[in-house]
């Protein structure tokens, strides 16, 4: 049975896509703005707009080939037709006959990988240079839709009880091997908003959930999360501290820290916050038992969730984040006391942001002894791509 395409929703989806492709808007934020501008949309309306945006962003270059056009309406119209939407009488996009579609599919198979997988040419070249044959494998994994993972807050309930509560509301979830606090939400299921805001769990990819345990915190420690952002890993660290010790979350952006404070209150965990400044860094110099540097990065390991990054990552943007990574690593190192530990983490699959940065830091910091490195490959785990390294300061 063909699905009906409502004009107001179609136009809204294309408007969001124009903001992403023509104005450089971040996909998640552009979608959120559209939802906020239309509070009366129902659940299905919101889902239709969001799915259209994310799938077209994920496959833009290959869809252009299949549609035979770079015009956005033609591209989106082709995708709607492929999803079983009936062609409305107001449609302005072209019709692709089945024979032509098959010919274009065959031609697509012979085109460069950057078109087939739909990402920027420069990014594709960077990935191949760094990962060789592994690049194609990781791209295939990162081209899939991302599952939703939850991290249960042990301060507010046990994994089994949260699982039972979700399933009682019709949300199927399953335990995640290698992720003690993790639950994976079944495809197509949505977590009710009242539970999302309850503080009993956070939405956090299973790979991201590996970082806080890797820091090896113990109750009573002084811990600094230097690039805390909105606080996903901060809250996990707070849970592992069991309410004992001191946890300081730092970031350059006050708006992110404000979001973190609200999340911490819902999770009933204690977190101090401070904007990164020379004074705040000096106040903690040499005092922390553990420092986490969850560094700014290309985000190449999160393409399933942030597909618009595929067109933004270039040699110039990569060089920019690498410079920032070295800066924050040095700032974080200065906070670690003797006998303490420093952890560096990225959500990138590129060695130049990971192993190369660790080698650079180790070569220049003789009193930091590298204890462990860990890489999480999307092709092996089904999670986001992550990297982490831990040093002990002698």
pLDDT at 98: 87
pLDDT at 394: 95
- The domain limits of the chain are 7-111, 148-203, 208-393
Cα–Cα distance measured from residue 81 to residue 3, given in angstroms and rounded to the nearest whole number: 10
pLDDT tens, 295-317? 999 999 999 999 999 999 999 99
Sheet bearing 368-376, strands edge to edge: 272-275, 246-251, 222-225, 288-294, 336-346, 386-393, 368-376
179 is catalytic: no
Tokens standing for residue 163: 């699982």
Tokens standing for residue 318: 């990569």
Task: List, as one string, the DSSP characters of 263-323.
Answer: HHHHHT---EEEE--HHHHHHTTTTEEEEEEE-----GGGTTT-GGGGGT--HHHHHHHHH
pLDDT band at 193 (very low <50, low <70, confident <90, very high): confident
Given a contact cutoff of 8 angstroms between Cβ atoms, the answer to whether 373 and 388 are in contact is: yes
**3-state SS class at 336:** strand
pLDDT tens, 34-77? 999 999 999 899 999 999 999 999 999 999 999 999 999 999 99
Is the pLDDT reported for residue 203 higher than 80?
yes
pLDDT at 197: 82
pLDDT at 188: 82
Helices (H), the chain: 7-23, 27-37, 43-67, 72-82, 98-108, 113, 121-131, 134-142, 159-168, 193-196, 211-215, 232-241, 254-267, 278-283, 315-333, 355-364, 378-381
CATH class as words, domain 208-393: alpha beta
Given a contact cutoff of 8 angstroms between Cβ atoms, the answer to whether 385 and 302 are in contact is: yes
pLDDT tens, 103-133? 999 999 999 999 999 999 999 999 999 999 9
Other CB atoms within 10 Å distance of the CB of residue 187: 9
Tokens standing for residue 254: 């006050």
Cα–Cα distance measured from residue 382 to residue 142, given in angstroms and rounded to the nearest whole number: 9
Is the pLDDT reported for residue 1 higher than 80?
no
- 148-203, superfamily in CATH? Sun protein; domain 3 (3.30.70.1170)
Is the pLDDT reported for residue 195 higher than 90?
no
- Residue tagged active-site, from 179, 227, 297, 347: 347
Cα–Cα distance measured from residue 351 to residue 324, given in angstroms and rounded to the nearest whole number: 16
pLDDT tens, 271-299? 999 999 999 999 999 999 999 999 999 99
| CA 287 vs CA 189, 233, 282, 293: distances in Å | 45, 21, 10, 16
Cα–Cα distance measured from residue 49 to residue 374, given in angstroms and rounded to the nearest whole number: 38
Helices 134-142 and 121-131, axial angle in degrees (round to 10):
130
pLDDT band at 2 (very low <50, low <70, confident <90, very high): confident
| CA 73 vs CA 13, 59, 116, 117, 135: distances in Å | 10, 14, 20, 21, 32
pLDDT at 16: 97
Tell me the pTM.
Answer: 0.93
Cα–Cα distance measured from residue 363 to residue 367, given in angstroms and rounded to the nearest whole number: 10
């Amino acid at each position: 049975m063909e699905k009906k395409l409502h004009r107001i929703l179609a136009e809204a989806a294309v408007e969001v896509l124009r903001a992403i492709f023509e104005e450089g808007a971040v996909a998640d934020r552009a979608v959120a703005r559209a939802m906020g501008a239309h509070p009366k949309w129902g659940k299905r309306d919101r889902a239709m707009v969001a799915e259209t945006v994310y799938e077209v962003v994920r496959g833009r270059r290959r869809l252009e080939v299949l549609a035979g056009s770079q015009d956005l309406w033609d591209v989106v119209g082709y995708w709607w037709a492929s999803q079983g939407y009936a062609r409305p009488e107001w449609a302005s996009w072209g019709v692709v006959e089945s024979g032509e579609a098959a010919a274009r599919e065959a031609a697509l198979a012979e085109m460069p990988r950057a078109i087939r997988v739909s990402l920027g040419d420069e990014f594709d070249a960077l990935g191949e240079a760094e990962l060789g044959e592994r690049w194609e494998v990781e791209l295939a994994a990162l081209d899939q839709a991302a599952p939703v993972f939850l991290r249960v807050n042990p301060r507010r309930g046990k994994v089994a009880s949260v699982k039972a509560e979700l399933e009682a509301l019709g949300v199927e979830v399953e335990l995640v091997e290698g992720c003690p606090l993790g639950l994976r939400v079944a495809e197509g299921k949505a977590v009710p908003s009242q539970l999302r805001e309850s503080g009993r769990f956070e939405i956090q990819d299973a790979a991201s959930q590996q970082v806080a345990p890797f820091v090896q915190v113990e109750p009573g420690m002084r811990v600094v999360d230097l690039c805390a952002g909105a606080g996903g890993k901060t809250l996990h660290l707070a849970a592992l501290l069991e309410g004992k010790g001191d946890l300081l979350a730092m970031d350059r952006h006050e708006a992110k820290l404000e979001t973190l404070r609200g999340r911490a209150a819902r999770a009933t965990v204690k977190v101090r916050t401070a904007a990164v400044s020379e004074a705040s860094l000096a106040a903690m110099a040499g005092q922390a038992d553990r420092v986490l540097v969850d560094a700014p990065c290309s985000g190449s390991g999160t393409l399933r969730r942030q597909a618009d990054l595929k067109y933004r990552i270039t040699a110039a943007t990569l060089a920019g984040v690498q410079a920032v990574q070295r800066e924050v690593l040095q700032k974080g190192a200065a906070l670690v006391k003797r006998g303490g530990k420093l952890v560096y983490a990225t959500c990138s699959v590129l060695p130049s942001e990971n192993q190369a940065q660790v080698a650079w830091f180790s070569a220049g910091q003789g009193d930091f002894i590298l204890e462990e490195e860990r890489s999480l490959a999307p092709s092996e785990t089904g999670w986001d791509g992550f990297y982490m390294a831990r040093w002990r300061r002698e």
